[in-house]
Structure 1
Amino acid sequence: MSKGYSLKNVNELSGGDDEFIAVLVQTFLEEIPPDVDSMVQAVNSNNPQMAYQYAHKMKPNFQLFDIDLLKQIKQIEAWSKTNKSKEEIMPALDHIVNVVNNVLEDLKTDYK
């Protein structure tokens, strides 16, 4: 079964330093769940600007771990500049939550 992430970019950044990789993984595990929760709350409370801030904040982490969510993150960011209802952005948000939850489980398993 394939992972929802890749350490290719992490390895490049760290120069293969296993301790640094472990720190990056631990930081991801600590920071991403509350940010995703806050983004979900922002969408649920119809606060596009706050949703944008959390989506934008997480984007570099998703890129670093090669997590394929750029399209959905951009949809959340674009939503903040429209008058579309929150229902229209829910499929992208649900996809982000599902993918992130799977990645978190994979990382926790791989980095006990």
Structure 2
Amino acid sequence: MSEKPLYSLHKLKEIDDSEDFISQVIQIFLETVPANTEAMKKACDAQDWDQVYFYAHKIKANVNLLDITSIIDDVKEVEINARGRMALESIKDKVFGISVVIQKVADVLKDSFT
């Protein structure tokens, strides 16, 4: 059984398969998503659910675009639960898991695209 890829460039290539475009999107991801994920973790620790929602919402588009399937449902759930103040006890674990995956993706992308 093969392990699912950490991310995919398939959706990006459907938009524009030029190397410049893909490199730009990867660069933007590396500059913003890990920092936004860290900010989401801090907001979660502070139980600032408005900010948790804000960062989950920001991260979601990039997670979708890079097809990071292992965490997309968790990002959506954190976004919805933080906004609605529901199942708050589950958010912290999900945010931690999202953070771990985002860091792995960022590390791989840095090695591949910089």
**Do the structures match in fold with TM over 0.5?**
yes
Partner deviation per Cα, 1:77-100 (whole Å, 9 max, x = no partner) = 232212544x43122111101110
Partner deviation per Cα, 1:61-81 (whole Å, 9 max, x = no partner) = 110000122211122123221
Contact 1:3 1:103 in 2 (8 A): no
CA RMSD of aligned residues (A): 1.6
Give the structure 1 partner of residue 39 of structure 2. Answer: 38
Contact 1:72 1:96 in 2 (8 A): yes
Inter-partner Cα distance in structure 2 for 1:78 and 1:25: 26
Give the structure 1 partner of residue 85 of structure 2. Answer: 82
Contact 1:55 1:73 in 2 (8 A): yes
Give the TM-score normalised by the residue count of structure 1: 0.89
Question: 3-state DSSP class of the match of 1:66?
Answer: coil
Percent identity between the two aligned chains: 29
For structure 2, the 5+ residue unaligned runs are: none
Inter-partner Cα distance in structure 2 for 1:107 and 1:7: 11
Question: 3-state DSSP class of the match of 2:68?
Answer: coil
For structure 1, the 5+ residue unaligned runs are: none
Give the structure 2 partner of residue 70 of structure 1. Answer: 72
Name the count of aligned residue pairs.
Answer: 110
Give the TM-score normalised by the residue count of structure 2: 0.88
